[in-house]
Amino acid sequence: MEQNNSFTQAHLDNQLWLNELRFYSDETAIFQKHLEELISRNTSLQESDEAGYFQNQFARMSDQVTNMLNELQSAEAKMAMYAKSDRTADLENIIVADHYQFRDSINNFKKEYETFKEKFKKFESDLY
Angle between the N-to-C axes of helices 99-127 and 7-41, in degrees from 0 to 180, rounded to the nearest 10: 20
pLDDT at 91: 59
Tens digits of residue pLDDT in 23-59: 999 999 999 999 999 999 988 888 889 999 999 999 9
pLDDT at 94: 56
Contact criterion met (CB below 8 Å) for 21 and 89: no
Nearest to 112 by CA among 58, 75, 69: 58
Range of the domain at 98: 5-127
pLDDT at 1: 45
d(CA 120, CA 126): 10
Tens digits of residue pLDDT in 50-104: 999 999 999 999 999 999 999 999 888 887 777 777 666 655 655 565 678 889 9
The structural domain count of the chain equals 1
